Amino acid sequence: MQLRNIAIIAHVDHGKTTLVDKILHSTNVFRSNQETGELIMDNNDLEKERGITILAKNVSVMYKDVKINVIDTPGHADFGGEVERVLKMADGVILLVDAFEGPMPQTRFVLQKALNLNLKPIVVINKVDKPNCRPDEVHDAVFELFFNLDATEEQLNFPTYYGSGKNGWFNDSLTPREDILPLLDGILEHVPQPKIAEGTLQMQITSLDYSTFLGRIAIGKVTRGKLVENQPISLVQADGTIKKSRVRELYIFEALGKKKVTEVYPGDICALVGLEDFGIGDTVADFENPEALPITYVDEPTMNMTFSINNSPFFGKDGKFVTSRHLRDRLMKETEKNLALRVMDTDAADSFLVYGRGILHLGVLVETMRREGYELTVGQPQVIVKMIDGKRSEPFETLVVDVPQEFASKVIDLVTRRKGEMLIMETKGDMQHLEFEIPSRGLIGLRTQMLTNTAGEAVMAHRFNEYKPWKGPIPGRNNGVLVAKEAGTTTGYSLDKLQDRGSFFVDPGEEVYKGMIIGETNKPGDLVVNPNEGKKLTNMRASGTDGAANIAPKILMTLEECMEYIQQDECIEVTPNHIRMRKTILDEEERKKYQKMLKTEEVG
């Protein structure tokens, strides 16, 4: 049977998952009367809510008697580890580029990986129906990008298709049509059949799946030899250990699901049941003469956060899993399938240091755990500092901001205050395109400030660049916080009286505890306040009414916004129903003593 393996890569929001939808519909995967909805591939709750792809996924379609395995990849820089490993399964890539925005930093990052693996590229310029779009300029920019990434002569000669995924057409010219068949024909024509090497069995595990019935499932592409049900095999692990095992069941991808088969031929992507203790990058090889494939190395993490058990007064009210053993087991389980994540023990038995690729990467992990019923406390995200050539060095990132021209000066001011340096400034239509180099520390909390200062118009993207010498202190949050003085229930009377001191993260009638952060002050410096005071009632009638208290609604913050907001001495309590910010040391006197001790140490 003829085969094509293709990965779809693009920057976040350029339309990868929508394109996969159209491929599925065009190849009649669904019955004509079947309700499918949109963004079929984003089947995880978090993906649906955020409108982003987090996990790479496989589907396969049949077109003109050729099986096409399609791999949908995440576009966000924090999930780059996910993309790097799945590209190993593909023989060609569709590079999807927005007809207005053009190639973005993440496009460059993923394309570099694809070109290094010598994959055949097809360029698709999407959203040509948008106003202000500039498909010809974007085509030139993509060519320039390929050239800068040292693409080979053959790779530079890439075919280009134009269209609109939303309106369901793609063509090799700008003429609109009814379907995406020219693109499917292009895949058959330009993407090579998988190369089959001679020799014994080899399959590298590039992804994992889990089923409550079958246990852990290994997914990868059979590069040579063939796999048969019940066949004895050797599992060659990353450290060179060889384990003997047996294939219990085999599945290939068919449409949106898996189909059980008795054998898998080289070049096809399959799922394998029956292996134990395997990791990503391990090789399934011949029983008698095992030969390993080179291991996939994933870029190092750039940020870490402390995860510890929930030790607030509200401990155990919401969650099912609250002990350090639960927390440890869950984090270790996550490292098995999340390649860019590392977990390390700390001096405290109930705290763990978790390393990841960025705030979104770590935030998605915390959000997933919270939905599974875990209670935990997470600290402020910190960048990972290394000593390089005797100098203290920190990670730097390339930051790209597209913003209306009237806000450009505010953006430049914000980024330069956080030690960013401007590299490029150019006009794209009525938008200003700015590129900076900025320490990763400077990005923490930047998105919220950027959106506030640009009336929500700024579009920002960033990706890790390299380690460079430490840039010095970066100013943090400008204002202090309002901290609850004692436990109790907030009252409208009390909050009304405190309104001139700042804005609140709580509403009247909410349970609070001593040391919990309940709002932000109007000026620098923290303030300990009592939000629980009730009105003193007398038997004299007052002329006013209690109903006249006009309290502004509380500020709602997402988990990522809280992670960017907190300072060194603060943390976030995360439970299935609540996200609360608090001081790490709850008692005010203890906090003062600790601050004094720190100052003494600094002076000493």
Residues annotated within the binding site for GTP are 13-18, 126-129
Token look-up 């923290």 returns 526
Tokens of 342: 């590392």
Helix axes 446-453, 408-417, angle to 10 degrees: 150
User: What is d(CA 489, CA 487) in angstroms, rounded to the nearest whole number?
Assistant: 7
Q: Are 340 and 301 in contact (CB under 8 A)?
A: yes
Cα gap 99→601, rounded to integer Å: 56
Say if residues 118 and 149 touch (Cβ distance below 8 Å).
no
Give the integer Cα–Cα distance in Å for 395 and 384. Answer: 7
Q: In 218-229, which positions are buried (b, 16+ CB within 10 angstroms) versus exposed (e)?
A: bbbbbbbbebeb
C-alpha distance from residue 83 to each of 12, 88, 284, 441 (Å): 12, 9, 21, 24
Residue found under tokens 């010219």: 173
DSSP assignment of 456-480 equals T--EEEEEEEEEEE--------SS-
- Binding annotation: 13-18, 126-129
Which residues are registered as beta bridge partners of 307?
Answer: 352, 378
Distances (CA, A) of 262 to 2, 210, 230, 276, 284: 19, 20, 9, 20, 17
**Measured between alpha carbons, how far is 84 from 219 in angstroms, rounded to an integer?**
15
DSSP 29: -
Residue among 511, 529, 509, 512 at smallest CA distance from 521: 529
Distance between terminal CA atoms of the chain? Answer: 75
Short-list 173, 119, 108, CA closest to 141: 108
**What contacts 134, CB < 8 A, 6 or more positions away?**
99, 100, 102, 428, 429
- 3-state DSSP assignment of residue 93: strand
* Alpha-carbon torsion (592, 316, 210, 60), positive or negative: negative
Rounded CA separation 317/349 (Å): 22
DSSP string, 165-231: TTTTEEESSS---S-SHHHHHHHHHHSPPPP--SSS-EEEEEEEEEETTTEEEEEEEEEES-EETT-
